[in-house]
Amino acid sequence: MRIRIPYLTLLLAIFGGVPSGGGCSSSECPKGFTQDGDLCRRPPQEGSAGGVDAATSRTDAVSISDMEAGGARSEEGDSAGKSAQQAQVESKAGAGGQPAPAGRSAEKRSEDAGQAAAAANSGDAKARSGGGGAGAGGRPRDAATGSAGSGSPQPTPQSPTPQAGNARTPASSISAVYQPIHDQLEVLGVGADGTLRVLWKGTDQKWQSAFDLSGAGFAPPRAPVAVAYQPLNEQLEAFVVGQDGVLYVLWKEHSGDWHAPFALTAAGFAAPGAGVAAVYQPLNQHLEIFVPAKDGSLHVLWKADNKDWNMPFQLAPAGSLSATSQLTAAYYPTNENLEVFYVDRQGALQVVWKEHDAEWKAAFALTPAGFAEPGAPLSVSYQPLNEQLELFLFGKDGKLELFWKDHNKPWEGPYQLAPAGSGPSNGHVASAFSPLNNQMAALFVDTQGALQVAQKAQNMTWEQPVPLTERGVLAPGAHVALAYYPFTQQYEGFASGPGDDISLVWKPSGAAWMGPLSLR
């Protein structure tokens, strides 16, 4: 089935088919967009919110496959979808030493898969099966054997254009990650109903309809999710504190099927929906997870060489931080440091770290008390140029502040990136480094509900933040995520919107920021 779409230039820019140097520049926008300074925007349409027609952008965002020269590609090669994988979170011991949760019978799995296929055929699920790498798991799992294969029930191919309400997306607590297998970009989040979901695309094809990794009520609505890729065994792992106060891990290897949530702690270990951070460090091939316990102590859990998980180890004593405090962490290759950041109960920014995989150091304050809201969200990114580690958060006065260190020298800052009142004191910020032009960017939603980006190139002076959406499109301080997508050499940014929607903005190579588009 082929689709003829007007405005080919626009579609190529949106879906990564722009040749190097093409797309939207500061002096030229694709047809259908209007110039606004250094940005390209879709003109407001009747019934649209914030200058973007939600229905139109929703259809565009999920309906287009890769484009052939002068036309649209066929649907072959689409990723395997939700319907054929409803039963894919099977109980099976995964690499990394996770024991297998209690399993279902083969008969029950077959029944579940059959029901999923029936739902897809009736139009309740808008996913399709096909070749290529499935973003949320490889090939469909055989319903009878539980193995990857071609034996699972296959849904009838659906229209490549999901209608409004047919496709769900992750909710506010979004995290984005790139994994090299099939050049996949994946976004995970917990919805308003407490369901953990994943949304993905591979090789810059269209975004696939999100599907559930858990049942409803698994975690508090919009609970934070941390996700990390570890090269060993080509594993993607996601972490969330559930409604029962358990720190859970979900994972897939070799872009295969996602495994069911597995408990890393006892019930009640953490506050439901507590902050969590995950980092892979090459030394001893460690994957390390950071979470505040219910008593306000900071803990780390880790595994080496993808073996068994170790028990929680305390890094900061009880009462150090809020039980629901947000965390961020990064590996700093300059001194082989692993560093964790949080805002303590007194509002001071703190860092805990270790060098060369040795003993952890005690928490060290980077600011006086009262600098930020206790437990405020933060983001940290490493840029190779000047060997700099950069940390972003909002101060108590609503300024977007930057802290940094270079060559492992003492920390510097704060440096103001946006003035007082720019964002809520508990507003979220996301940062990422792009090797193109050695660019660093920070994304946030301001107090007027507009998505903004601050950026610099070649480690020069930071530019003033610029709006990427109209005011009122998003909730002030909403959850955001930012990732560099090597396949098309572009930034892709995400912001949570109303109704579990996700707004997408992107910056093609050598071009201006574009969007927003709805992925709902």
206 CA to centre of own chain: 17
Which of 100-114, 413-427, 500-514 is least confident? 100-114
pLDDT at res. 110: 34
Residues 477 and 347 in one domain: yes
What's the CA angle centered on 255, arms 249 and 257, to 5 degrees?
60
**Domain carrying residue 44:** 8-72
The residue-averaged pLDDT of 425-429 equals 97
Which of 263-272, 412-421, 506-515 is least confident? 506-515
Q: Which amino acid is at 211?
A: F
In tens, the pLDDT along 307-326 reads 999 999 999 999 999 999 99
Answer yes or no: is 206 within a domain: yes
Answer yes or no: is 62 within a domain: yes
Domain boundary among 27, 46, 72: 72
Residues 99 and 63 in one domain: no
Q: Which residue has better confidence, 261 or 31?
A: 261
Residues 112 and 44 in one domain: no
Within 10 angstroms of residue 305's Cβ, the number of other Cβ atoms is 12
Neighbouring residues of 69: CB distance < 8 A, sequence distance ≥ 6: none
Q: Is 417 exposed, middle or buried, given 0-12, 13-18 or 19+ CB atoms closer than 10 A?
A: buried
Residues 135 and 47 in one domain: no
Residues 55 and 93 in one domain: no
How does DSSP assign 270-333, residue by residue? S-TT---EEEEETGGGEEEEEEE-TTS-EEEEEEETT-PPPPPEEEE-TTSS-TT---EEEEET
Answer yes or no: is 3 within a domain: no
Residues 231 and 219 in one domain: no
Answer yes or no: is 237 within a domain: yes
What is the C-alpha to C-alpha distance for residues 294 and 291, in angstroms, rounded to an integer? Answer: 10
The residue-averaged pLDDT of 166-187 equals 77
In tens, the pLDDT along 204-219 reads 889 998 889 999 999 9
pTM of the model: 0.71
The residue-averaged pLDDT of 91-114 equals 33
What's the CA angle centered on 212, arms 188 and 494, to 5 degrees?
25
- Residue 12: DSSP 8-state: H
Q: What is the CATH number of the domain that holds 310?
A: 2.120.10.70
Answer yes or no: is 2 within a domain: no
Q: Is the pLDDT of residue 462 over 80?
A: yes
Domain boundary among 263, 287, 313: 263
Residues 198 and 270 in one domain: no
% residues pLDDT > 90 (the chain)? 62
Residues 382 and 400 in one domain: yes
Residues 67 and 125 in one domain: no
pLDDT at res. 520: 74
Residues 414 and 479 in one domain: yes
The answer to whether the CB of 440 falls within 8 A of the CB of 427 is: no
pLDDT at res. 88: 35
**3 state DSSP class of 113:** helix
Residues 190 and 234 in one domain: no
Answer yes or no: is 342 within a domain: yes
In tens, the pLDDT along 113-141 reads 333 333 332 333 233 222 233 333 322 22
Answer yes or no: is 453 within a domain: yes
Q: Which residue has better confidence, 492 or 114?
A: 492
What is the C-alpha to C-alpha distance for residues 286 and 309, in angstroms, rounded to an integer? Answer: 10
How far lies 229's CA from each of 173, 337, 369, in Å? 18, 18, 35
Domain boundary among 72, 103, 118: 72
144: pLDDT confidence band, cut at 50, 70 and 90? very low
| Domain count within the chain | 3
**Mean of the per-residue pLDDT values for the chain?**
75
Answer yes or no: is 502 within a domain: yes
The runs of H, that is alpha helices, within 207-286 are: none
34: pLDDT confidence band, cut at 50, 70 and 90? low
In tens, the pLDDT along 441-460 reads 999 999 999 999 999 999 99
Residues 63 and 103 in one domain: no
